Chains A and B, each alone.
Chain A
Amino acid sequence: MQTHPYTWNYIPLLIQILVAVGMACSMTTFSWFIGRHRNTKAKLEAYECGIPAEGDARGRFSVRFYMVAMLFILFDVEAVFMIPWAVIYRQLPHITGSPLFGFWEMLVYLGFVVVGVFYVWKKGILDWATDKADI
């Protein structure tokens, strides 16, 4: 079995991260020095299918993208709280003394999540084509 302290398990993970980042950095650097550079004006322009780029690419975009990120945060927090429940679910009948207690309390919690999904759905936030919500 494992003879070393548990915290050592993070060391390989840390080395892996360093190796991955180092690899990515060295690839970028080497290809910069190995490849030749003969720039022309046309090459350095933004490539938009040969048509000269007009204006700045960065502008305002549909608020839907922002809404997706917002919904993601809220549902992500809800999902994160399900994980400790899932880890302990097998032992819950022994711990709480009732076979279905753990199930019911999570059902209530999931009920809130479902209400949230249903609300967003009905408001048309999830419809990208019809623009029912008019956002």
Chain B
Amino acid sequence: MFALHRPQRSPQLFSSNPAGALRTLLLMAVCIALMFYDHQRGHLQKIHAALSTLVYPVQAAVNAPYALAGWAQEKLAMHTALVKENTRLKQELLMDSVQLQQTAALEQENARLRELLQAGAKLSGHVVLATLLAADMDPFRHMIVIDKGADAGVYEGQTLLDARGIIGQVIQVGPVSSEVALITDPSQAIQVQVNRTSLRTLAIGGADVDTLSLPYLANNADVKPGDLLVTSGLDGHYPAGYPVAVITHVHRDPAEPFASVTAQPVADLDRGHDVLLYFPAVASAPVPKPEVRSTKKPSRRRPR
């Protein structure tokens, strides 16, 4: 072993004990105390925020090749490909605006009906663009980092969407980045309703990243594969009426009180693409700055 051939300073070799039992026990006690207080969320927010600033360069470095590849693809794209994409996007825009016209009419009708029912008007929020960083976290949880933090008005519990549906919620806010738990994370549950029948239930995450399970549906519940699940808004957390998942599998065993139902999220839960942060219209949430997309460098300012 080469290390033995190197001249060692003998006093250091024997006098100082690098693995002092007291020091080990002390540091382990610190770890256990940290875990204990961290488990009760909210106690260590400041430490988390400071650490997230510290490790943000690492996350940004990991994301850099992906960002660069995307940028290069944009710059080096062939003219014909761009023209083709442009045509396709224009067509999509046209289709979407036709649907939007209908939506406007429906919204008006809905408001009128709500007035008749004397129900409160539905408030719609606004969204801000953010990017999912291409960085893996704990392999047994489904979490992701976004490039927006307290500087963009992000707050804990905020809903994250993409063009197709709900992605998850913010669970940790840092100064320039935030951690998001996907709806399929084992710690997450979301109040949904079957769009076809308005049947309400809970969809909970698990081990698989593209599966949600609905464990609390009775055996005779009216659900079938292909049903769309939307947020009910009753959890007071996620905004109502956004698509969450499509039911893929219903298994009814007469011996069991509940049917075994699984669903597949409609949102694209993959890494490294653009997502939307939802800001509700009510005044309870902090008002975000008006800027939309910013690529700021991590600043060293103190968290809140």
* A and B physically associate: no
